[in-house]
Amino acid sequence: MKKFFKQILPAVSKIKSHPNLQFFGTLLHDPNLWHFNRRSLAGGTAVGLFLAFLPLPIQMFSAAALAILFRVNLPISVSLVWLTNPITIPPAFYFAYKVGASVLNEPLQTIEFSASQDWFLQTLEHVWEPLLLGCLIVGTLSALIGYLTISLLWRIQVGRLWHTRRKNRLKKMLKSKQAV
């Protein structure tokens, strides 16, 4: 699992030198932010998935700040906020709106799209409460599911490695006894 994450994530030096992250200064030198262990990867996944569903314009900065605060894997947390990108934001936030409206027991508003600031502000005025609640619910659930999934996959992988090592040790012992 370590190899997989090391292959897909950008180099540590590239992230540390990113101009938008220079604000954090020496905090970026904490080795826990770059480790590939169960706790760090699962925590980074939770941070990234939670923030991916929050309607914030500064998701990457927030992901970096929370990764530093909780001392979890920074590259994974910053990378996962890109699950919601310009293509996926409309369906993700509409789903979050539907969840929020359902929890608040509000009827769904009929929304006709128009690419203007007036449309955005008028629409947001009517749907901000269920949208924000839905985003918090979906973000929290996806963070929890992501954390548990990474933890479980890590444990399964470690169990397989232990089993393989034990099996290889037993084979060596049997070969050495047969040679005697």
Work out the average pLDDT over 139-149.
98
Output the six-digit token pair for 17: 């030198």
47 within 8 A of 79, measured Cβ to Cβ: no
Q: What is the pLDDT of residue 2?
A: 64
pTM: 0.79
Q: What is the pLDDT of residue 117?
A: 77
How far, in Å, CA of 164 to CA of 152, rounded? 18
Residue found under tokens 């232990």: 162
71-96 residues labelled b (16+ CB within 10 A) or e (exposed) = bbbbbbbbbbbebbeeeeeeebbeeb
Q: What is the pLDDT of residue 101?
A: 94
Q: Is the dihedral of CA 163, 169, 171, 173 positive or negative?
A: negative
Q: What is the pLDDT of residues 24-79, one digit of tens each?
A: 777 777 777 888 889 999 999 999 999 999 998 889 889 999 999 999 999 899 99
Q: What is the pLDDT of residue 32?
A: 79
- Mean pLDDT taken over the chain: 86
Residues in the chain: 180
Output the six-digit token pair for 172: 């060596």
In three state form, how does the secondary structure of 16-69 look?
A: HCCHHHHHHHHHHHCHHHCCCCHHHHHHHHHHHHHHHCCCCCCHHHHHHHHHHH
Q: Which residues contact 30 (CB under 8 A, 6 or more apart)?
A: 68, 71
Categorize the per-residue pLDDT at 129 as very low, low, confident or very high, splitting at 50, 70 and 90: very high
How far, in Å, CA of 133 to CA of 18, rounded? 33
pLDDT at 179 exceeding the cut of 90: no
Work out the average pLDDT over 128-139.
95
Q: Where do the domains of the chain lie?
A: 2-179
Q: What is the pLDDT of residues 81-112, one digit of tens each?
A: 999 988 998 899 999 999 999 999 998 887 77
Work out the average pLDDT over 113-129.
78
Categorize the per-residue pLDDT at 139 as very low, low, confident or very high, splitting at 50, 70 and 90: very high
Q: What is the pLDDT of residue 34?
A: 81
